[in-house]
Amino acid sequence: MKKVIILILLFIVSMGLLPLVMCTTTVSEEKSPDEVLNDFHDAASKADGPRYFSLFAEDAIFLGTDGTERWTVEEFKAYANPHFDKGRGWTYTKKSRHIYFSPDGNTAWFDEALENENYGECRGSGVLIKSGEVWKVTQYNLTIPIPNSLAGSVVEKIRNENR
């Protein structure tokens, strides 16, 4: 039995595997962009303003579904916090998500299909920037996809609304 153990140890050392066998697993506190976006939607759903806005970069922009909704973080807080303070958030449930990374790994962009009780199928897209070890949302764009077969009539309604 001792010979078998010695042979196994010699094999491990000779193959350069000792560091892999000896290493310990560490748990990272860093959240992936996917986890940040999940947290983003969860915080909004629970009307948790401090958590929600902590996920934004300081100079982030939020683009809402209305053409007039292009908000800095401070402008978005002014809109959202009165709702959050009353316990009213908004729930967008992820159906699918695609995330891509820059070559240096410090920028991620995404698109996601979402479901909302009032608006139905929605789409979120945007950019996250890695600041130190933390991913922050630097741009978020929420849209309502319009089927091409309905686009003409929707455009006409928008034109009439803006007159």
**Given this structure, which CATH class describes domain 33-161?**
alpha beta
57-97 pLDDT tens trace:
999 999 999 999 999 999 999 999 999 999 999 999 999 99
Q: Specify whether the CB–CB gap between 124 and 111 falls below 8 A.
A: yes
Q: Cα(135)–Cα(112) distance, rounded to whole angstroms?
A: 17
Average pLDDT over residues 130-159: 94
Q: Cα(105)–Cα(32) distance, rounded to whole angstroms?
A: 11
pLDDT at 20: 36
